[in-house]
C-alpha cells in the first residue's frame, strides 16, 4: 500500500459519506443490527485470527498486561455485537434541530446537527475498538478509515470483514468502513496528513501514539485516552468504601485508560488505609511505588522517583504519595493529571464539593471507581474514546461528539442594507 492507495480510500470514504448523509435512521439501524449478526456468525473466524495475533505477540515477549488488552473471547465478541445493537437503538442525532429563532430582519434560522464527514481512527492493541468506532461513526452518518496496531492486524481485518458483510446485507456502501492493512509507520504518517479527504482524526492509545498524531497530523485532531488517574483518600473517608474503590479502580482491569495510576493519602489515615488494604494489595499483585513516608509504612514498597507520578503504567504498578493537607493533594493532582478521571474518597460534604470544583478533568468522581468513565456506562451506547481536551468534545465521546452542525436560513427576499 502507498499514498495513492490511501487517496483512493479517501475518495471512496467521501463518496460513502455522501450516501450515508442521505440514509434514513431506519436503514442505519438495520445495518447496525446486520453487522451485529455478522459478528456472531463469524465469531469463530474472529477468534482464530485473534489467536494468531496473540501467538505472534507472545513470541515477541510482550507482557501479560499487553496480551490481556488485545485478547478476544466469546464473551468479548458478544459484547461487541451487543454494543452494535445498543448503538442501533440510540436516537439518531443527525438532522436534530438544536435551536431555532427569527432575527429582527425576519430571517428564520435553524441550527441542525450534521455528520462530520470522513473520520480517521488510529489506535493500538484493543480490537474491540474496531467495532465500537465503526458503529458510532456509521450511526452518525460518517464514513470511517481505521488504522489499528500491527499486533492485532488479523483480528481487526476479521472484524472489519464481518462489519462490511453487514453493510452489504442491507445494500449500504461497504466503503463506509475501511481498514488500512499495511502497518508501515510512514504510511501512518501519510494517513495523518490526508486532510483532503479526512475531516477529523481521533487517536486512541498510548501517550506516544497520541503525541505522534498531534505533532504530525494536518487533519483536525481530538486527543483521547491517556489516563494518569488519581484516587485521593481524604481523612474523612469511609476506609472500607475507599479500599474497595481503590482495588476496583486499580485492579479490575489494569490495561485501560480509566484505571488508577496514583494513590494519594492524607497523613492522618495513611497507615490505617494501607494496613486495611494490604491483603487485597497482595492478592491482586499490586506493586506500590511510594514516597518516603509510604516506604516507611509498607516494607515491600518501591521508592518512587519523579517519573512515577507522571506514569500511565497500564499494569499492576501504582504510585503512592502521602500528603499533609487537602491543598497539597489538589496541587499534586493538577501537576500530574492527564485530565481524564480523578477520584476522591471522603465523607465531608464540603470537601467533596470543593474537589469537584477545584479539579480540572473530564470526569470527577466522589466515592466511586474511575472505571465508570465509559461511554457505554454513561448511556451513550458506546464511545469513540475519552477526550482529554476541551475543544469540541470532552470526556467519553458518544454519538453527538461525532457531529457538527449547520445553519439553515430562510427568508422572503430580504437584502442587507
How confident is the model over 384-401, as pLDDT tens digits? Answer: 888 888 777 888 888 999
How confident is the model over 329-381, as pLDDT tens digits? Answer: 999 999 999 999 999 999 999 999 999 999 999 999 999 999 999 887 888 87
How confident is the model over 40-91, as pLDDT tens digits? Answer: 999 999 999 999 999 999 999 998 878 988 999 999 999 999 999 999 999 9
Q: Rounded to whole angstroms, how far apart are CA atoms 61 and 392? A: 39
How confident is the model over 285-343, as pLDDT tens digits? Answer: 999 999 999 999 999 999 999 999 999 998 999 999 999 999 999 999 999 999 999 99
As a whole number, mean pLDDT of residues 202-208 equals 83
- Would you state the pLDDT for residue 64? 86
How confident is the model over 98-114, as pLDDT tens digits? Answer: 999 999 999 999 999 99
pTM: 0.83
What string of H, E and C letters represents the secondary structure of the chain?
CCHHHHHHHHHHHHHHHHHHHHCCHHHHHHHHHHHHHHHHHCHHHHHHHHHHHHHHHHHCCCCHHHHHHHCCCHHHHHHHHHHHHHHHHCCCCCCCEEEEEECCCCCEEEEEEEECCEEEEEECCCCHHHHHHHHHHHHCCCEEEEECCHHHHHHHHHHHHHHHHHHHHCCCCHHHEEECCCCCHHHHHHHHCCCCCCCEEEEECCHHHHHHHHHHCCCCECCECCCCEEEEECCCCCHHHHHHHHHHHHHCCCCCCCCEEEEEEEHHHHHHHHHHHHHHHHHHCCEEEECHHHHHHCCCCEECCHHHHHCCCCCCEEEEEEECCHHHHHHHHHHHCCCCEEEEECCCHHHHHHHHHHCCCCEEEECCCHHHCCCCCCCCCCCCCEECCCCCCCEECCHHHHEEEEEEEECCCCCCC
The fourth-level CATH superfamily of domain 229-376 is Aldehyde Dehydrogenase; Chain A, domain 2 (3.40.309.10)
- Would you state the pLDDT for residue 56? 95
- Would you state the pLDDT for residue 205? 78
- Would you state the pLDDT for residue 357? 97
How confident is the model over 132-158, as pLDDT tens digits? Answer: 999 999 999 999 999 999 999 999 999
How confident is the model over 207-243, as pLDDT tens digits? Answer: 788 888 989 999 999 888 688 999 999 999 999 999 9
- Would you state the pLDDT for residue 306? 94
User: CATH assignment of 3-224+394-410, given 2.60.40.10, 3.40.605.10, 3.40.50.1370, 3.90.110.10?
Assistant: 3.40.605.10
Q: Which residues contact 261 (CB under 8 A, 6 or more apart)?
A: 227, 228, 229, 230, 311, 312, 313, 318, 319
Degrees, nearest 5: CA angle 122-193-35: 35
CA dihedral 217, 223, 224, 227 (to 10 degrees): 120
Q: Same CATH topology for 3-224+394-410 and 229-376?
A: no
- Would you state the pLDDT for residue 384? 83
Q: Which residue has the higher pLDDT, 225 or 38?
A: 38
Q: Rounded to whole angstroms, how far apart are CA atoms 111 and 113? A: 7
- Would you state the pLDDT for residue 37? 98
pLDDT band at 171 (very low <50, low <70, confident <90, very high): very high
**What are the extents of the domains in the chain?**
3-224+394-410, 229-376
Instruction: Flag whether pLDDT at 382 surpasses 80.
Output: no
pLDDT averaged over every residue in the chain: 94
- Would you state the pLDDT for residue 269? 98
Amino acid at each position: 500500500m502507498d499514498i495513492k492507495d490511501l487517496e483512493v480510500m479517501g475518495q471512496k470514504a467521501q463518496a460513502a459519506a455522501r450516501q450515508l448523509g442521505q440514509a434514513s435512521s431506519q436503514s442505519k439501524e438495520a445495518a447496525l443490527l446486520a453487522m451485529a449478526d455478522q459478528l456472531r456468525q463469524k465469531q469463530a473466524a474472529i477468534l482464530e485470527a485473534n489467536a494468531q495475533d496473540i501467538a505472534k505477540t507472545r513470541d515477541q515477549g510482550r507482557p501479560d498486561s499487553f496480551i490481556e488488552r488485545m485478547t478476544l473471547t466469546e464473551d468479548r465478541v458478544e459484547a461487541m455485537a451487543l454494543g452494535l445493537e445498543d448503538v442501533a437503538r440510540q436516537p439518531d442525532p443527525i438532522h436534530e434541530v438544536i435551536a431555532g429563532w427569527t432575527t429582527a430582519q425576519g430571517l428564520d434560522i435553524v441550527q441542525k446537527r450534521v455528520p462530520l464527514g470522513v473520520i480517521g481512527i488510529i489506535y493500538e492493541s484493543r480490537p474491540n475498538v474496531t467495532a465500537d468506532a465503526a458503529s458510532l461513526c456509521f450511526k452518525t452518518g460518517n464514513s470511517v478509515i481505521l488504522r489499528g496496531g500491527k499486533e492485532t492486524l488479523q483480528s481487526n481485518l476479521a472484524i472489519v470483514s464481518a462489519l462490511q458483510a453487514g453493510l452489504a446485507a442491507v445494500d449500504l456502501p461497504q466503503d463506509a468502513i475501511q481498514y488500512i492493512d499495511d502497518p508501515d509507520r510512514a504510511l501512518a504518517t501519510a494517513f495523518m496528513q490526508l486532510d483532503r479527504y479526512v475531516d477529523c482524526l481521533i487517536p486512541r492509545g498510548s501517550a506516544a501514539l497520541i503525541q505522534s498524531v498531534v505533532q504530525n497530523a494536518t487533519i483536525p485532531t481530538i486527543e483521547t485516552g491517556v489516563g494518569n488517574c488519581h484516587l485521593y483518600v481524604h481523612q474523612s473517608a469511609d476506609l472500607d468504601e475507599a479500599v474497595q474503590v481503590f482495588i476496583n479502580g486499580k485492579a479490575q482491569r489494569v490495561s485501560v485508560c480509566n484505571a488508577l495510576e496514583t494513590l494519594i493519602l492524607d497523613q492522618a489515615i495513611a497507615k490505617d488505609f494501607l494496613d486495611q488494604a494490604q491483603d487485597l494489595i497482595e492478592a491482586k499483585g499490586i506493586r506500590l511505588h511510594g514516597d518516603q513516608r509510604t516506604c516507611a509504612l509498607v516494607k515491600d514498597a518501591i521508592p518512587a522517583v519523579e517519573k512515577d507520578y507522571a506514569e500511565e503504567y497500564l499494569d499492576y504498578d501504582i504510585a503512592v504519595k502521602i500528603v499533609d493537607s487537602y491543598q497539597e493533594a489538589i496541587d499534586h493532582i493538577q501537576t500530574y493529571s492527564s485530565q481524564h478521571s480523578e477520584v476522591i474518597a471522603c465523607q465531608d460534604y464540603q470537601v467533596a464539593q470543593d474537589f469537584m470544583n477545584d479539579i480540572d478533568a473530564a470526569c470527577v468522581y466522589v466515592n466511586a471507581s474511575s472505571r465508570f468513565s465509559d461511554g457505554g456506562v454513561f448511556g451513550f451506547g458506546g464511545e469513540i474514546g475519552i477526550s482529554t481536551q476541551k475543544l469540541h468534545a470532552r470526556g467519553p465521546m458518544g454519538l453527538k461528539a461525532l457531529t457538527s452542525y449547520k445553519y439553515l436560513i430562510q427568508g422572503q427576499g430580504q437584502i442587507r442594507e
